[in-house]
Chain A
Amino acid sequence: AQTVTQSQPEMSVQEAETVTLSCTYDTSESDYYLFWYKQPPSRQMILVIRQEAYKQQNATENRFSVNFQKAAKSFSLKISDSQLGDAAMYFCAFRGGGATNKLIFGTGTLLAVQP
């Protein structure tokens, strides 16, 4: 069974600084997808970034980028130029490449942004 591990329950970053959130996963599949979701206090889940396992290039979305290490089964999220609005719970998620579309979530990292 696939598992997703986020070892940092809480993180803090100064506004305008950079922070990296860690995520590791375990799977026997070779084809899969990885995601980072943001859940602000409103509790609406928002997709931050996605990475297809077959792509070697790390995904980037504006200030958000990932460091995808397939062999190490690591998928960290880097937030550059942190903003107050980035404060939220961040979940790493795994989805297999098979017929099912279900997501397996990590336990989350609560990010605080200090002004």
Chain B
Amino acid sequence: GAVVSQHPSWVICKSGTSVKIECRSLDFQATTMFWYRQFPKQSLMLMATSNEGSKATYEQGVEKDKFLINHASLTLSTLTVTSAHPEDSSFYICSASLTMNTEAFFGQGTRLTVV
């Protein structure tokens, strides 16, 4: 199957700083990528849909100024957590599909810890 790579796998940052997480489709082009957040022992919660060349679509309750998404190319989407707080600590996962009707491939996730 197609490969989606997420970087970094884990990151620790201080409160008030910003952290950028990258999601790359390594062997295919993805016009759409998705960002999820997962708390311990809970399900994946969709945060936003990242569209190449246009603004991301955020789910209700997700602060777009807090979680900045940029999808500047067909193989890269980035999620920047701005002015991070301890409550932003979580596991963030991205996914991408080859086309609208094929399965989603997931990155390995990023564990963010804000201290």
Task: Looking at the assembled complex, report how far the CB atom of A42 sits from the nearest CB atom of chain B, in whole angstroms.
Answer: 7
The size of the chain A interface, using a CB distance under 8 A, is: 20
Tell whether, in the assembled complex, residue B103 and residue A47 are in contact, meaning their CB atoms are under 8 Å apart.
yes
Query: A37-51 vs B: 1/0 string, CB under 8 Å?
Result: 000001111010010
User: Does more than half of chain B's interface fall in helix, strand or loop, or is it mixed?
Assistant: strand
A72 to B18, CA, bound (A): 46
Q: How far is the CA of A42 from the CA of B91 in the complex (A)?
A: 12
Cβ-defined contact, A102 with B106, below 8 A: no
CB distance from B88 to the nearest CB of A (A): 18
Given A47-B103, A108-B43, also A103-B34 (CB < 8 A): yes
Flag if B44 contacts A101 (CB, 8 Å): no
Please name the residue on chain B nearest to A95 by beta carbon: B104
Verify if B25 is at the interface (C-beta below 8 Å from A). no
Point out the residues of chain A lying under 8 angstroms from B38, CB to CB.
Answer: 43
In the complex, what's the smallest C-beta–C-beta distance from B11 to chain A, in angstroms? 15
Known: A45-B44, A108-B42, A108-B43. 6 other contacts (CB 8 A): A42-B108, A45-B95, A101-B32, A101-B100, A101-B104, A107-B43
By a beta-carbon cutoff of 8 Å, the part of chain A in contact with chain B is: 33, 35, 42-45, 47, 50, 91, 99-108, 110
